[in-house]
Amino acid sequence: MEHAAPPAWVMLAYLISGVFFILALRGLSSPATSQRGNRFGMAGMLIAVVTTLITHEVAALPEILGAIAIGGGIGWVTARKIAMTDMPQLVAAFHSLVGMAAVLVAAAAFLNPEAFGINGADGLINPVSRVEMGLGIAIGAITFSGSVIAFLKLAGKMSGAPILLPLRHVINLGTLAAILGLIAYFTVDQSPWIFWTITALAFLIGFLLIIPIGGADMPVVVSMLNSYSGWAAAAMGFTLHNTAMIITGALVGSSGAILSYIMCKAMNRSFISVIAGGFGAEAAASGGAAKEQRPWKRGSAEDAAYMMQQAESVIIVPGYGMAVAQAQHILREMADVLKKQGVSVKYAIHPVAGRMPGHMNVLLAEAQVPYDEVFELEDINSEFAQTDVAFIIGANDVVNPAAKTDKTSPIYGMPVFDVDKAKTVFFIKRSMGGVGYAGVDNDVFYMDQTMMLLADAKKMCEDIVKALQH
């Protein structure tokens, strides 16, 4: 049967909802406007949900409202309790829910097409709707299983190292080809086995695509899964003739794709090489064991406090180690003490620092670091040559000069901070034995102007603050 065009006011309401979502994305582009962006997103979703409920004959309205209340309650409690350092795995978990929602909606539409208005004159689902449904359930299932693996890796419940299966590329390409072939065949044969086989293969390929990807590529994975969830929603929006879903899905999908491109550019890697997985797998085995015998200097909290008190300028480079140690608050306190003593303090944020896009920005914002003190790589990198102290806390690969000099390094070509040009470098890490997720040693450890501060990042910053105050 033909799907009736919605009333003009419904189209207007969905358009307003879409405008709110665009304003939400615009607001989320900066920590200073992120709260306003979240409010726009909430308003847009409220308009979309209310409009959908009003324009449909909903026999189970109490059940739907109850489900919204339960889901909203779980989300509210989770948001209140979750630590900011656990935000990457929370985002991955949310992506998995979006993917599963697309799968469940597609399954409902397949099992009861009349309720969704996607039947043709012959009583079968329209061929175009079958393509949209097939793509929606495939992308949704990939998003779900891939996000579950990303969650397990980020939460430390699964090794963050690449897990390389034999013939993985052949298996992946073969599975993807089978999914696309079955979607094409689905347009001429509506048999349930085709639908459920597409679903099962999509769940499988999501798992296979993410397990070979190591921790160094997690920012790209998070933004990629974000994009997938958007395209899954957009595909189901076409199937359901829901303008709001199409607009929202397209916005999320395109913004996630752009973010993935930015992340790949920040690592000087192609999107295909990330999907192929295994970043640093070969280097991890050799990760600089021979270099550990090179001479290096060990510093103390008192050394760092004295040198930074004498400095005119200090640039702090935070990384995932800061997040693990939850050192952002004491780090801000250290910076506040230095600023009171007349020292200029800035923060340098690499696009791929941490485990998701903007991870370091979120943590610094939580610690109430002023936004005007936080700078992106391209805006501050030239200042290292004039700065007195580069203070590196928990970062490694993003300050590794091998990216500029060693063509055999797995991170060669990745833009990194020029901390090696600073007059003095303090480098906080737990031990000299560890290397970054890329699995390569760092020449900065062994420079004449570098002092290694081997300790838990939070404990070391606490000791530095005490030394600064004496």
Active site residues: 397
Residue that has been written with the tokens 């013939």 in this structure: 167
- Given a contact cutoff of 8 angstroms between Cβ atoms, the answer to whether 255 and 25 are in contact is yes
How many Å separate Cα 156 from the centre of its chain?
16
- Given a contact cutoff of 8 angstroms between Cβ atoms, the answer to whether 353 and 320 are in contact is yes
Alpha helices in 28-60 (DSSP H): 34-54
Pick from 99, 90, 101: nearest CA to 229: 99
- Given a contact cutoff of 8 angstroms between Cβ atoms, the answer to whether 415 and 266 are in contact is yes
- Given a contact cutoff of 8 angstroms between Cβ atoms, the answer to whether 227 and 92 are in contact is no
Enter the tokens of residue 40.
Answer: 């726009």
3-state SS track over 310-360 = HCCEEEEEECHHHHHHCCHHHHHHHHHHHHHCCCEEEEEECCCCCCCCCHH
Rounded Cα distance, 51 and 453, in Å: 58
Tell me the CB-side half-sphere exposure of residue 295, using CA atoms within 13 A: 2
Pick from 341, 198, 217: nearest CA to 275: 217
Rounded Cα distance, 359 and 318, in Å: 10
Cβ neighbours around 188 below 10 Å, total = 9
Cβ neighbours around 392 below 10 Å, total = 28
Q: At what angle do helices 87-111 and 192-210 cross, to 10 degrees?
A: 170
Which residues, in sequence order, are CB contacts of 443 under 8 Å at separation 6+? 400, 401, 402, 420
Rounded Cα distance, 274 and 211, in Å: 12
